[in-house]
Amino acid sequence: MLTQKSTIPSISLKYHHSCNGVLHLFSFETPILYLFKINKIKYIFSIMDLTRIKFIKESKLEDLQNSNYLEDLIIKLGFNTEILREQPKIVKDNGGGLLIWQYPNQFSKYLCLLREQNIKSYIEIGCRWGGTFVLTNEYLKMFNSINKSVAIDIIDSPVVNYCISNNETQFIKINSQSKEFINYINNNYFDLIFIDGDHSYRGVKNDYEISKNSGKIFVFHDIINDVCPGVVQFWNELKNNEKNTYNFFEFTEQYKDVWNDTRQKFLGIGVAIKK
């Protein structure tokens, strides 16, 4: 399971057998994934629109080094709008496309930092629909060749459709807390490890502890998120306890409309780069 590349066809994902002969189309878990049945087989497909990758590929390299340009580009690529309460109007109005789950004002500046790090391998723990994974991989490929990019999640992800046509990439459906994954991460090395899976304190600590000897740059999502106290606590501890090991960077800009509506802070990207 760990090494096998998915052979799932390009827009649909064979799910499992059912005993229903008619086609049903209905929302599954979120409006982003759909489940349908043809004869005895269930399929999942998503509305992830990979054609938008062309906006990255058609950009000039000098523009891709400019965070203002990147902010506009991320908006054009399209967002995951699952948790609307956390989303600013700019995200809500641009749902769809690559289904990226990020604030463009944070992620644009984060990408600018990554560009300077000569990253050749990437793993995202908790990729969900894969928007952040696709954007990160495509952005890095504009500057360096990427040897290996791996997306993992405990659920099926439409990112398999992207992985099929990009040889350096792989989606693995696996629990990051399983023995199989510990074995996998112990036997692999990644320049960039993005931790965005289980957001409990125990979960994020597990993902860091099992991978800390297998990477150079560790990224934590939701470091100031008021609804992810475990990640906030873990990030603050890492900053206090590992000052000699890492240089730390934070991208935590908020949107006024979200703050006005909720009086809470969301997302936030923390980067720890080994000295």
Ligand X SMILES: C[S@@+](CC[C@H](N)C(=O)[O-])C[C@H]1O[C@@H](n2cnc3c(N)ncnc32)[C@H](O)[C@@H]1O
Residues of this chain that bind ligand X (CB under 6 A): 80, 101-102, 124, 126-128, 131-132, 152-155, 175-177, 196-198
- Give whichever of 37 and 88 is closer to ligand X, judged by the CB atom: 88
Smallest distance from the beta carbon of 205 to ligand X, in angstroms? 12
Smallest distance from the beta carbon of 193 to ligand X, in angstroms? 12
- Give whichever of 37 and 198 is closer to ligand X, judged by the CB atom: 198
Smallest distance from the beta carbon of 182 to ligand X, in angstroms? 12
Smallest distance from the beta carbon of 99 to ligand X, in angstroms? 7
Question: Of all residues in this chain, which one has the CB nearest to ligand X in the complex?
Answer: 126
- Give whichever of 180 and 247 is closer to ligand X, judged by the CB atom: 180
- Give whichever of 38 and 230 is closer to ligand X, judged by the CB atom: 230
- Give whichever of 121 and 225 is closer to ligand X, judged by the CB atom: 225
- Separation of alpha carbons 163 and 248, rounded Å: 31
Smallest distance from the beta carbon of 190 to ligand X, in angstroms? 15
